[in-house]
Structure 1
Amino acid sequence: MYIVSVCSLKGGVGKTSVTLGLASAALHQGVNTLVIDLDPQGDSTLGLLGEPASTLDIAEVLTSPRTETIDRAIIETPWAAGAASHLDIIPGSSRSAVMDSPAPGPKEVRRLHQALDKRTHQYDLVLIDCPPSLNGLTQMALAASDRALVVAEPGFFAVTAADRALKLSVEMHDDGIAPRLQPLGLVVNRYRPRSVEHQYRLAELRELFGASVLEPVIEERVGLQQAQGGAVPLHTYEGASGKRLTEDFDALLHTVMDSRQNS
């Protein structure tokens, strides 16, 4: 089971959009996947279920990281109906916000790791949609993960935010808190190729982070928002930008899965 945290330092960069795009690509490619919605806003839950969950959610899992709790919290998504592979979710809720301490203790940081070790369901890939901060919930995700995938937009604050997120993953590994964790790289999202500002910021990110800036860059396209607004997989969306978006997320998923070879 390969666990990837999708994280960012700030909101509004499309972190959940990247998570759902990867989930759609995984379903399309037959990769058995679990999405964990660790963001108290619960946007991944809405995107995958079409409504807030009425079952156990991640708050219960973190409060009581037992086999029975995590197994009951995992539910099949409507996206996977009739598919050959699994796409399941542990839903998020606002109740997890009480656990998002800026300075969590060692026991708190390992709660998600302990829970995932006790699940009986088997997956090829776990995608954790983190809150837009580096507080306790994101640290729990990183402590349980093999890789950290940082999402940034090509804006003025992108460099500082991306640098802090990548450095945290290295620090948690070096401190022994997340012994398996390595930075996977930086996904540049919501890129507008005709914007001179975006061109400049993308060049700046590539100059500073080199090969850590992953390809492809995800362009800002209305199809992604429309697919998510309809709570349907991107790979079933039939709008004009659907083909380009599915190609981009298929390629990004290949990058994610290929990184497993370096574990």
Structure 2
Amino acid sequence: MTTTQRRSKRIAIANNKGGTGKTSTTVNLAAALAEAGFTVLVIDLDPQANAGRRLAVKPDSHLATVSDVLKALAERPNADLAGCASDAFTEIGWPAPYNEHIVLLPSRTDLENRATLEAGQLGAVHRLDVALDGADDEFDVVLIDCPPNLGHLTQNALAASDAALCVMDPELDGIEGAIALRDFIKSNRNKLANSQLEVVGYIVNRVDTRTGAHKFQTEESIPEAFGEHLWTPMLPERVAMKDAADADPPRPLRALGRDGQAMAERFAELARQLSERVGLTTSAAAGVK
């Protein structure tokens, strides 16, 4: 990770399993942080590009993406391209106050091909870090939505981040994916040149306590496995989450009535915990204009 002084805190949101709600958590944490006055850069590092879609950014073949940023660094290894990620920063489609506080570094499906080409290349795992160097200074926090694995793209996110945040569902596969992420970081953070990296918290998502398995996992297995690093509240399965994501255009939770407001308040509490754990400071508090 770059050692130059910067104000932003970079958080990789990850799990070694799909379907845990990483993207919805990334987007709704960004919304909660924006409501609290923080400036947020959301990086869509998943080739499915769902974070961008949920922030109401329409796919556009002419839109610069994180794939273009990584490609530029790969093709011009001797050029001074530090901070080139800013060339692909994009406004989100949500209304104020969200569009005043959240900026997107979008993705598209060809990012999968880019990851395949770059995996194993010398220095490739640090290209996102280089691309962000100086480009994210204007933000309070950077949230990186990782793909559901521990491959090249997730490793780029981990190499560039101050901390990881794990999102799991209360299923055995989701718990095992969280443990795999934790163990991977412990075993490989030195290889990523990020020796201080750790999982700062675990968020449990998509909980349905009407099922015996979910009740057991949330009350016994998960607290036992993750202890004090387990954040609350746990996030229940709610229609508002799907409605917000599937609306045309997608909308923030607070636009969806009582159920949406209740979920937004849960994310506000999780955002408060993130702020405390990683020491976020708003631009205003830091005296940044």
CA contact (8 A) 1:113 1:143 kept: yes
User: 202-211 or 101-110: which moved more?
Assistant: 101-110
Q: Which residue of 2 aligns with 1:189?
A: 205
1:61 maps onto 2:69 in alignment: yes
Using the TM superposition, give the Cα deviation of residue 210 of structure 1 relative to its aligned residue in structure 2, in angstroms: 1.0
1:213 aligns with 2:230: yes
Aligned to 1:38: 45
* Higher-Rg member (1/2): 2
TM-score normalised to the size of structure 1?
A: 0.92
CA RMSD of aligned residues (A): 2.1
**Partners of 2:203 and 2:234 within 8 A in 1:** yes
- Cα 1:228–1:179 shift into 2, 3 Å: same
Alpha carbons 1:191, 1:217 under 8 Å: kept = yes
Corresponding residue number in structure 1 for 2:262: 244
Q: How does 1:1-263 map to 2 (within 5 A)?
A: 1-53=8-60, 54-65=62-73, 66=81, 69-81=84-96, 85-101=100-116, 104-119=120-135, 122-175=138-191, 177-202=193-218, 203-230=220-247, 231-238=250-257, 240-261=258-279
Distance 1:73 1:176, change over 3 A: closer
Provide the C-alpha distance between the structure 1 equivalents of 2:136 and 2:173, rounded to a whole number of angstroms. Answer: 41
CA gap 1:130/1:152 in 2 versus in 1, 3 angstroms: same
> Which structure 2 residue ranges, 5 or more long, are not aligned?
1-7, 74-80, 281-289
In the superposition, the TM-score normalised over structure 2's length comes to 0.84
Is 1:34–1:125's contact at 8 Å kept on the other side of the alignment?
A: yes
Structure 2 Cα separation of the partners of residues 103 and 69 of structure 1: 20
In structure 2, the residue corresponding to 1:192 is in which secondary structure? coil
What's the secondary structure of 1:3's corresponding residue?
strand
AA in 2 matched with 1:243: Q
**In 2, Cα distance between equivalents of 1:151 and 1:41:** 18
2:70 counterpart letter in structure 1: L
For the residues of structure 1 that align with 2:85 and 2:28, how far apart are their CA atoms? Answer: 24
SS in 1 for 2:11: strand
Offset at residue 158 of structure 1 (A): 2.5
Find the residue that maps to 1:128 and give its secondary structure.
strand
Alignment: residue pair count: 261
Q: Which secondary structure state, in structure 2, belongs to the residue aligned with residue 72 of structure 1?
A: helix
Q: Is the 8 A contact 2:126 2:159 kept in 1?
A: yes
Percent identity of equivalent pairs: 31
Unaligned runs of 5+ residues in structure 1 are none
Q: Displacement, 1:46?
A: 0.6
Q: Helix, strand or coil for the counterpart of 1:100? A: helix
Quick check: 1:71–1:119 contact (8 Å CA) kept in 2?
yes
In structure 2, C-alpha distance between the alignment counterparts of 1:250 and 1:161, rounded to whole Å? 25
